[in-house]
Structure 1
Amino acid sequence: MKKLAKRTVAIGAVLALPLLVVPGSAQADSAAGDVGSAAKISHSQAASMFQGAGIPWTSSGNCSDRNKPNCTSFEQIHDHTVRGAITLKSASGCAINVTGGTETGHADGQYSHWNGYKLDMSLSSCIQNYVDANFAYIGGSKWQSGSGNVYYREGNHWDITFHNCGGC
């Protein structure tokens, strides 16, 4: 039987509550900062997280149907992907606009949009300056953060692969 670890999680500035962490669980991974096995969440959960962080999103089709390529959907996105975008906004101080999520029409692969690892974001000089100053250029219009997330500047947007939440 695995030994259970107890951690304290601060709630607000004053109250601290014990958190029971089961090794090997998604809860343990998240509490430890390793979100490789993080849960996938619904479109409405992700939209609520983005809204709470002040991150807007746009859809060329004004829709969120995952099966239509002109929509912007967050259905089945990893929670660490959403938290990674929130971390980027917080760390950079830049305005962010999400333009693509888990909808069909993107390239296939293990770490794909469809599988919940990627977001597209509008280009901005603020984000470009932040990426240039803080991430390693790895060639081909790509930069890698210290946490391993990959920022690919495509023609008219950023295509970002979130392997984790970027230090959230």
Structure 2
Amino acid sequence: MIIVKYEFSGALPNQKIILSKKCLIEEANCVLIFAFYQGKLVLVRHHARGWELPGGTREEGESIIQTVIREMYEEAGGELASIETVGQYLIFEKDQLVYVKNIYIAKVSILRELPVGYETNGIMLLDTIPEQFEIMNDPTFSSLMKDNVYLIVSEWIKDHRLNELTKTAK
């Protein structure tokens, strides 16, 4: 089996990223979520970094799917109806593997009031997936959105059945 993978620099200095549609390492320690609610892409506003996709770090004793569910609730007040894995990326800092992030696409069934006391302070619902050049030129977007992970994965999910934008934004 041939595994297609991409290698490129990360958004932060001294980072290298390896991205693949297949999971390269079984135990992920982080998640990134392309979540859709009523035909719109969900972004969250991190209090320090700006607008980004929901996601975060797996807690001890938690399954990776439990991490997806918890992070979506903590960062956006979202409850998920469907979750599917679309890929994984590895983040190396100074040649040391630091993060193994599984990438998910999800359908949000309910957006509740944003929980208080977490790292986000707002949500934005978008009718279209922003183009990479829009994100690169907008300082309100997190630097974590400004690497090739977002660019490549947004293409992967363009026609995915859970991406409601393909059905509503045309």
Same fold (TM over 0.5): no
Highest CA radius of gyration, 1 or 2?
1
Judging by fraction of residues, say which structure has more helix: 1
* TM-score of the aligned structures, taking structure 1 as reference length: 0.28
Judging by fraction of residues, say which structure has more strand: 2
* TM-score of the aligned structures, taking structure 2 as reference length: 0.27
